[in-house]
Structures are given as C-alpha cells and as structure tokens.
Structure 1
Amino acid sequence: MISNGKSGICLIRKNINGRLFQTAYGELAALGVDPVEKKPLYHFHPGSSILSIGTNGCNFRCDFCQNWHISTAETPRKQTTPAELAAEAVQTGSTGIAFTYNEPTIWYEFVYDCAAEFKKQGLKNVIVSNGYINEAPLAELIPLIDAANIDLKGFTEKFYKETLGSLEPVKRTITALYESGVSVEVTNLLIPGKNDDEQDFESMCRWLASVSPDIPLHISAYFPAYKSTIRPTEPETVIRMKKTAEKHLRYVYAGNIKNENNSSLCPHCKTVLVRRSGYEVKSFLKTNRCPGCGKQLYFCV
C-alpha cells in the first residue's frame, strides 16, 4: 500500500489524495543516440543508430545497478512528446527508439503512446527491460515492439528476491516476446558469489535453448557500482561461461572484457556475418540469410 503523498518503489507512481498518478509521463531523465549494439542488440539492424530515452525509477532494487543515479532517485527531467521524439529520430538518422537506461515498464503509458507514434511513422521500437511485467499489459505492448533485450539477472528465485523481483515472470516475458515474433536477445550480468554458479548458469542456458537456441545471449562481466563492492568478474570466468553457453545456444557474446571477438558467425558454415571491434561494426548481411551457405538466420537487417 502507498500512503497519501508517497510514491511506490518505482518513484514515479504517487498516491495523491487516494488516486494513483504516473508522475513522469513524457518526462525524460536521459536521452541520447546510441549504436544499437550498446543496448546490447547484435542481431537487430547491425551497425545502425537508435534514439534512446529513459526516465527515473525502477521496479527492482539491485545493489549493483549501473544506472542507479536515475533508477533510484529523481533527477531533473525534460518534457517531450511522442511526435517530438519521432521527429528527432528522423533528424538524427535513427532506425527508431529504444526505451532504455531505466526500466521502461514503469512508465508504460508513455512507452505505449510513443511506440504507437513511432510504429505509425514506420520507425522501430526497442525495449531494454528486466522483463518483470504482468501478462495482460505485455500482450498489449508486444504488437508495437520490434526488438527487446531482456536482462535475465540469474536463474534462482533466491537471487531474484534480493532485487525485490521474481524469476518466473521474466521467463514468461522472454517466451512471450519470442513466440510473438519480436527479435529477442538476453543479457546476463555475472556477479561473483551471487549468480555465477556454473550449474545454475547451465540450467539457464538449457532453458533459453528450450525457447529457442537462436536467441542471442550476452554474458557481461560485472564491475562494482552503486551499493555493491563485490570484486569484478574475472575475464576467465566470462570466457568459461561462454563456452558452456555455446553447448546449448548458437549465438553467445562476451561483454565488458577486453580483446574478445564478438563478431557474429553463421552457426551452420561459420561465415562471418557481422564483424565487430568495439562499436565499429561491418555487416555483410543484405537479408536474413547467410551469404555463405544461404541458410536462414535469426537476424533483422
């Protein structure tokens, strides 16, 4: 229950005289034009740029949050409209818009209206989310969404309880997005002593492969942030987990470590599909078929 004059943990839903208001509609705490690979999305229009926005707040409380300055506190916000953002996307040569930086589901009303405007103008919609959302609002939003990166934080309820969340709704979201034809990728941030148990990790990879072995998995090394002072993830751990994931999944990428080759290869003939060096990207794809063997691939180009 939220007392009168108080907000929920998300910061932006407030009880004002017994009515619940969403207090950040159309108000931006962050805006930029990013490489789509930064979301990270490696299989959705590789090499393109995307307008990226966020507001304050989150429905989780992660001690290791990397965007804690906007997810845990209110900061100055700039007012905007869906039409203004669509015009900016066109002006900046963006392929569309990414709802990112903070959790997009908490300002669902604006995300929905903005996505509808972008869809109407033939632009793309991306969500970067923890996936913790009820089925009905997700089903309403999915027809407007072209791509999603879902942060699968771990694979135990114990770990999710520390974030104030739960695992099963996140699994349900990933499945629903994939089965609806959304281009889905998944990120897992490896935190020493928290979610890096190898058996749990392999169980996660097996489950993801049961949805589809084509879903790309981004395994990222953790660095201390916000309230967390746990030591950084060793690069060797990320590489070892990547090899484990590759037993089950066709596309696995290692993030936040130096000198790791994150080029995309055809899982059938190993032709280089997209060459990456940091955010320098060279795509050899003209369609979603391999230029080497001609087989269909899990890419949107």
Structure 2
Amino acid sequence: MIDVAHLAKCYSKKTMMISNGLIEKEPFLELTTCIDAFSIDLKGFTEEIYSKLGGTLEVVKKTLKVIAERKKHLEIEFLLVPELNDDRETFIKMVKWIKDELGSNIVLYINGYYLSYKLKTLATEKKLLLEFYKLAKKYLNYVYLGNAGVEMDTVCSCGNLLILRDGWNIEMVGLSENGKCNKCWEKIVDM
C-alpha cells in the first residue's frame, strides 16, 4: 500500500485508505505519511459491541485521533444496525466525542443495514436513519445517509453548494483547488 501511494504521488494522484481502524501503530504511522484521506468504520461506541464484532473500540478511537492530528481528510462510516448499535444515548456520546476530539467538520456517514450473510436482523428503516441523522447534525457539520435512497449534497455553512452527489457520482461545484468554499473561503477539506 505504501509503495502504491508513493507511486501515485509521482503522478500527482491522491490516495484514500478504507479501514476498520484496527491497525498496529507503527505501520499505521507510516501510512499517514503517504495516504491523503481515510474512511474508517466506527461500528459502535461501546467495548461490548466491539467484543461481539471483533476488535476494540479504544484502538479505533486512537486511529481516528492520529488521522485528525495529522490533518488528513477523515470520513467515518457508521452502519446503523437495529438492535445492535441503535441506542440513542450511546450514539449521542459517539457524536459528541467525534466533535470534541476530532472536530465538527469530520464527515460522518450513517449507513443503513440490509439483510446480509450471517446477520439476520431486519433492515434499517429510513425513519430510524433520519432520526439518527438529525441527532448527529446537532453536533457535526457534514452528516450524510448511505443505503437510504436519499441524496445529500454538501453545502457550506454560508449556503454555497460545494459537492453535488448522485449515488456514487460526485461533482465538485463550489470548492476551490485547495479545499475551500469558493464563496466565503471557509476551509472544508484538506486537499
């Protein structure tokens, strides 16, 4: 991964790593020197959830903090699974932690679960996704829903449309080359 990232830099390409955040410290620190952006799964906000799924919450939290401290673009993916991680109070604690420890401009995707493989829980209802979206928006500026059939564009705090989204296709319409709003010049992403 490091070799490919360095090669991409030779061609002025950006790199993004998708991970569950459970990675040994030394190789991860080396990755942060050459990866531009990270998408990290945050499965829940209790050790109990991580013990069921494998891993530890504290390791993931440390990974997220290092990414933010190194000023890398960070997006957090939260798969909302009914009866697993749908406790509202725990979710609010998670979102407050993100705001306080990582910043209110961190991107949070709240994704709907659908029946798959071994887990036979019913799919996440759109109503529940929208409820969690509203909870998160009280603390974070950039919250999006995934697997919900809802398109959500990125809009600056000044109201300027920044990123137009259509499924997996995105179009940068209001961002400067250095990641600032082209209307008010607020820093949105590190580019």
CA distance in 2, matches of 1:172, 1:280: 31
Amino acid at match of 2:68: Y
Aligned equivalents of 1:299, 1:122: Cα separation in 2? 15
Kindly provide the CA deviation profile for residues 121-160 of structure 1, in whole angstroms up to 9, marking residues without a partner as x.
4322211000001222211111011011000111010000
Q: 1:281 to 1:140 in 2, by over 3 A?
A: closer
Identity of aligned residues (%): 35
In the alignment, residue 279 of structure 1 is paired with which amino acid? Answer: W
Provide the rounded CA distance (Å) in 2 between the counterparts of 1:176 and 1:299. Answer: 15
Aligned to 1:183: 73
State the distance in 2 between where 1:282 and 1:127 align. Answer: 21
User: Out of 32, 41, 47, which is 1:157 matched to?
Assistant: 47
SS at match of 2:18: strand
Q: How does 1:246-265 map to 2 (within 5 A)?
A: 246-258=137-149, 260-265=150-155
Q: Which of these residues, 156, 159, 175, is aligned with residue 266 of structure 1?
A: 156
2:15 aligned counterpart, secondary structure:
strand
Structure-2 residue corresponding to 1:235? 126
Q: In the alignment, what sits opposite 1:278?
A: 167
1:219 maps to 2:116: no
The answer to whether the aligner puts 1:293 opposite 2:184 as a matched pair is: yes
CA deviation map 1:9-68 (0-9, x unaligned): xxxxxxxxxxxxxxxxxxxxxxxxxxxxxxxxxxxxxxxxxxxxxxxxxxxxxxxxxxxx
What code does the residue aligned with 2:136 have?
Answer: A
Structure 2: which 5+ runs fail to align? none
Partner of 2:29: 139
Q: Which has the larger radius of gyration?
A: 1
Closer, same or farther: CA 119–282 of 1 in aligned 2, 3 Å: closer
The match for 2:58 is: 168
Q: CA deviation at 1:244?
A: 0.4
Flag structure 1 segments of 5+ consecutive residues without an equivalent.
1-110
- 1:216: Cα distance to partner? 0.4
Cα shift readout 1:148-173 (whole Å, capped 9, x = no counterpart) = 10001110100001122100010100
For residues 273 and 149 of structure 1, the distance between their equivalents in structure 2, rounded to whole angstroms, comes to: 20
TM-score by length of 1: 0.60
**Amino acid of the residue matched to residue 226 of structure 1?**
Y
Shift of residue 180, structure 1, vs aligned partner:
0.8
Secondary structure of 2:33's counterpart equals: helix
How far residue 299 of structure 1 moved from its aligned partner, in angstroms, is 5.2
Q: What number of residue pairs does the alignment pair up?
A: 188
RMSD, aligned α-carbons? 1.4
Is 2:16 the counterpart of 1:126?
A: yes
TM-score after normalising by structure 2: 0.93
